[in-house]
Amino acid sequence: MDDVRLRKPTERNCERCGRQERWTDDSWRVVTIDGERATGSPYCIHEWDIDGTFLPFEAIDGGEQADA
Ligand SMILES: [Zn+2]
């Protein structure tokens, strides 16, 4: 079924240089788009668009209610 309900961001984009990264296993990897890595600027102080804006899902509970 659908078990990809992650509670952490899996992608992030730098609002300054356009760098894009994706979370893989345990580290961020630069995203490759059309054969080019979206590395952005190596001198950029990356400002990720997920900072402060990411809201984790609320705990999903009570999903075992029996049919009334
Ligand atoms: Zn950047």
Residue 11: how many other CB atoms lie within 10 Å: 13
Between the CA of 4 and the centroid of ligand 1 the distance, in Å, is 28
- Given this model, what pLDDT does residue 40 score? 96
pLDDT at res. 36: 94
Please report, to the nearest 10 degrees, the dihedral formed by the alpha carbons of residues 4, 10, 62, 58 taken in order: -170
Give me the pLDDT at residue 50, please: 77
H/E element, 29: strand 27-30
State pLDDT tens for residues 12-64. Answer: 999 999 999 998 888 999 999 899 999 999 999 999 887 544 555 554 555 55
How many whole angstroms from 36 Cα to the centroid of ligand 1?
Answer: 16
pLDDT for 26: 86
CB 30 within 8 A of CB 38: yes
Confidence at residue 39, expressed as pLDDT on a 0 to 100 scale:
96
b (16+ CB within 10 A) / e for 38-57: bbbeeeeebebeeeeeeeee
